[in-house]
Amino acid sequence: MKINSTIRIIGECVVLVPYKKLHVEKYHRWMMSPDLQALTASEPLSLEEEYEMQQSWLIDNDKCTFIVLDKYLLAEKGSEIEAMIGDTNLFLVDQEDRTRAEGEIMIAEPQFRGQKRGWEAMLLMFRYGIEQLGLKTYQVKIGLSNTPSIGMFQKMHFEETTRSDVFQEVTLECSVSEKWKEWLRENIKHYEIASDEMRNEC
């Protein structure tokens, strides 16, 4: 989305930045992993196709994409590429009702899994979606074998709505109530929207 192409969201342990050209090569290497392809239900793309995809996501009015950076690694290395650990997305799922979105989170670097980086990145995205995009309902689609991810969203108060044995996938949903927004704020220790100083390298 163009709306998120010039900002970054700063949390306690992660920083979310727009997906830019400089991130593509590392992202492409991640997506060559059969394990990540299986977890994200993705097909491998060529590097050229990945660059094209990055540009299409930048202008797509239905998809909000951020690269997840480890905040401490970014401070230590001073490099977004070295600090990249995953990505997170929101997809608007209904052209008429633009208040419903599907969320996704991927922590690609194994050493950062199980450290609440994915949890924090997803909560930051949910808050951004509510406050900046006017979202009122979230859903996630997760492979039945991905029990850690299912468990994480259940802890976020998502509830199962459908289950497909054919696609080996479960769908969970959460409605944005005042009570849930309060829970969200209580579970986000730091939330700041700042200008993205590298926005020209789109």
Q: What is the pLDDT of residues 38-75, one digit of tens each?
A: 777 788 889 999 999 999 888 888 999 999 999 999 99
d(CA 35, CA 43): 11
Query: Helix, strand, or coil here: 9?
Result: strand
**Inside any domain, residue 100:** yes
Per-residue model confidence (pLDDT) at position 104: 95
Question: What pLDDT shows up at residue 201?
Answer: 61
Q: Examine residue 84 and state whether it is found in any structural domain, yes or no.
A: yes
Identify the burial level of 165 via C-beta atoms within 10 angstroms of its C-beta, where 0-12 means exposed, 13-18 middle and 19 or more buried: exposed
Query: CA neighbours within 13 Å on the CB side: how many for 130?
Result: 18
Q: Cα 60 to the chain's mean position, in Å?
A: 15
In this prediction, residue 198 carries a pLDDT of 58
Domain of residue 83, CATH code: 3.40.630.30
Angle 100-148-58 (CA atoms, 0-180°, nearest 5)? Answer: 40
pTM for the model stands at: 0.93
| Residues whose CB is less than 8 angstroms from the CB of residue 199 and which lie 6 or more positions away in sequence, other chains included | 5, 6, 18
Q: What is the pLDDT of residue 14?
A: 98
- CB-neighbour burial class of residue 8 (10 A; exposed 0-12, middle 13-18, buried 19+): buried
Low-confidence stretches of the chain (pLDDT < 50) are 199-200
Q: Is residue 57 part of a domain?
A: yes
DSSP string, 12-48: SSEEEEE--GGGHHHHHHHTT-HHHHHHHT-----HH
Q: Which of 125, 80, 92, 93 is nearest to 106 (CA)?
A: 125
- Tell the residue number behind the tokens 């709306």, with chain if given: 3
In a domain, 198, yes or no: no
The count of domains in the chain is: 1
> Is 53 contained in some domain?
yes
Whether 98 is in a domain gets the answer yes
pLDDT for 200 equals: 47
Which two structure tokens, joined as six digits, stand for 82?
């070295």
Distance CA 39, CA 31 (A): 10
pLDDT of residue 96: 84
Residue 39 structural domain? 2-193
Question: Is residue 201 domain-resident?
Answer: no
- CA-wise closest residue to 140 among 28, 41, 59: 41
Mapping DSSP to helix (H, G, I), strand (E, B) and coil, where does residue 198 land? coil
Residue 142 per-residue DSSP state = E
Q: Is residue 202 domain-resident?
A: no
